[in-house]
A and B are shown apart, each in its own frame.
Chain A
């Protein structure tokens, strides 16, 4: 679009405006041609046209040196191309394998017994509580009530019924037993009198549990999602329908229990009153690791009685629990 606010031909009275419009490039082709023709016809006006032409400013070669400071790069994204599908697949495989190895190693590091577990057996007549140095003792009745109100057994929460009050002798005995795991293990192996069985593995951070099979046998049960503790025979020599169920999130369980083979009636009555000691160990294991299971079986075998200790009125149960 060219600027021309009037419609008239160029002549000697209006040529200056035409010259300026011509120099400002505001005329169309026809008007430009008309100006050029007018200049050829009027040579005396060429000098004036030349002076006006000299007024046109030539662009100076100036450069803004701080141009880099004006750029904004934040909108751009960097792409790191991975050339080759094989390389990408290899990297993905390596990363996946690394993640898997890290996960497996991390799970193996968690192969430690769980502390502070509580176990419940529904058979009231055959349960007692033995405290350990790890878990502070509490009043038996209160604890049983609380645990009974806690709902079904399981989820790392095991309830004990008919727990006796903790006596100073028991505390003293526990302190003595807590001096060393090796000594305790040696002592346990010596126990043959079911009345004085104490299974301890404090070095392994075991937990005491209750349940005393009469014949001192070992019962084991395992499940993928739950742990079951079951004594095949009760103290009175009859099959015990009651089971002590320990539900925990473990893949497998091994139950090792020790008890008297021949329990006198007097001791049975004492046991019913919560004054007889036996031992049982519950070991939660993955069934793939049978060697470890065998180790704990040996660890929890019936041990000779400690003649000097007052174990006749105690029940000691240890739990070894492992998570995979």
Chain B
């Protein structure tokens, strides 16, 4: 990968990676730091990275950095009891806000898989490569997450 290829990666994938990190960490500062560090690592290893694999390489780095960060700070359990800073942002519509709320109730792995699938359009195989799972685990985890989201939507509809 040349410097020009790297800059193309920044142009193409920086926003998506930031969105993925922001949805996963729910903290703007953490998301920025993770994006910065992920691209820094990509730049360091650019000679070893194939251009066509650069996106999955970036997301793999970011995903594992995010997991390490969450484990280090033990924020996952603690965050649920705190006001969600990301939720304070205005939503485009009611359904999206409900989905964001439902997404925040998923486990870290489920949320990451849903984001990688829906936002980035990765296949099960690609998600498995990024997350270190096998494709069967990815499929099962994703299906369970979808069913949980559906149940959340049904429950909300019942309340409304």
Query: Footprint of B on A, CB under 8 Å?
Result: 1, 3, 5, 16-17, 20-21, 23-26, 48, 51-52, 54-60, 62-64, 66-67, 69-76
Known: A69-B36, A70-B36, A74-B3. A62 touches B22 (CB 8 A): yes
Complex CA gap A57/B118 in Å reads 6
One digit per residue, 1 when the CB lies within 8 angstroms of any chain A CB and 0 when it does not, for chain B 18-48 equals 1100110000000010011001000100000
Within 8 A of A (CB), among B71-129: 95-96, 99, 102-103, 114-115, 117-119, 121, 123-125
On chain A, the residues within 8 Å of B121 by CB distance are 25
Complex CA gap A121/B108 in Å reads 102
On chain A, the residues within 8 Å of B16 by CB distance are 59
Nearest CB in chain A: distance from B50 CB, A: 18
Query: Footprint of A on B, CB under 8 Å?
Result: 2-4, 6-7, 10-11, 14-19, 22-23, 32, 35-36, 39, 43, 95-96, 99, 102-103, 114-115, 117-119, 121, 123-125, 135-136, 139, 142-143, 146-147, 149-150, 153-154
- Out of B7, B18, B99, which one reaches A72, CB within 8 Å? B7
On chain A, the residues within 8 Å of B114 by CB distance are 57
Nearest CB in chain A: distance from B142 CB, A: 7
Find the B residue at minimum CB distance from A64: B18
Report yes or no: B146 in contact with A23, Cβ–Cβ below 8 A.
yes
Complex CA gap A90/B136 in Å reads 72
Report yes or no: A57 in contact with B119, Cβ–Cβ below 8 A.
yes
On chain B, the residues within 8 Å of A48 by CB distance are 150
Complex CA gap A265/B155 in Å reads 142
Find the A residue at minimum CB distance from B127: A24
Identify which of B14, B102, B114 gathers the most chain A CB atoms within 10 Å of its CB.
B14
Interface of B is mostly: helix
Known: A3-B135, A5-B139, A20-B142. A57 touches B103 (CB 8 A): yes
Nearest CB in chain B: distance from A19 CB, A: 9
Report yes or no: B19 in contact with A5, Cβ–Cβ below 8 A.
no
Complex CA gap A66/B18 in Å reads 10
Complex CA gap A20/B139 in Å reads 9
On chain B, the residues within 8 Å of A51 by CB distance are 150, 153-154
Known: A3-B124, A59-B119, A63-B15. A76 touches B3 (CB 8 A): yes
Nearest CB in chain B: distance from A216 CB, A: 82
On chain B, the residues within 8 Å of A72 by CB distance are 3, 6-7, 43
Nearest CB in chain A: distance from B122 CB, A: 10
- CB pairs A–B below 8 angstroms (15 shown): A1-B123, A3-B135, A20-B146, A25-B121, A25-B123, A26-B123, A55-B149, A58-B99, A59-B16, A62-B22, A70-B39, A71-B10, A72-B3, A72-B43, A73-B3
Report yes or no: B35 in contact with A64, Cβ–Cβ below 8 A.
yes
Nearest CB in chain A: distance from B55 CB, A: 14
Complex CA gap A185/B136 in Å reads 111
Complex CA gap A304/B148 in Å reads 126
Complex CA gap A14/B23 in Å reads 32
Complex CA gap A48/B146 in Å reads 12
Nearest CB in chain B: distance from A65 CB, A: 9
13 new A-B pairs (CB below 8 Å) besides A3-B123, A24-B124, A72-B6? Answer: A3-B124, A5-B139, A24-B117, A24-B142, A55-B146, A55-B150, A57-B114, A57-B118, A62-B15, A66-B36, A67-B14, A71-B10, A72-B43
Find the A residue at minimum CB distance from B144: A20
Complex CA gap A16/B146 in Å reads 11
Nearest CB in chain A: distance from B43 CB, A: 6
Complex CA gap A75/B146 in Å reads 45
Complex CA gap A299/B123 in Å reads 102
On chain B, the residues within 8 Å of A3 by CB distance are 123-125, 135, 139
Find the A residue at minimum CB distance from B103: A57
Complex CA gap A23/B102 in Å reads 18
Find the A residue at minimum CB distance from B31: A64
On chain A, the residues within 8 Å of B119 by CB distance are 57, 59-60
On chain A, the residues within 8 Å of B149 by CB distance are 55
Complex CA gap A24/B138 in Å reads 11
Nearest CB in chain B: distance from A22 CB, A: 11
Nearest CB in chain B: distance from A52 CB, A: 6
- Out of B4, B17, B103, B124, which one reaches A75, CB within 8 Å? B4
Complex CA gap A3/B140 in Å reads 12
Complex CA gap A20/B141 in Å reads 12
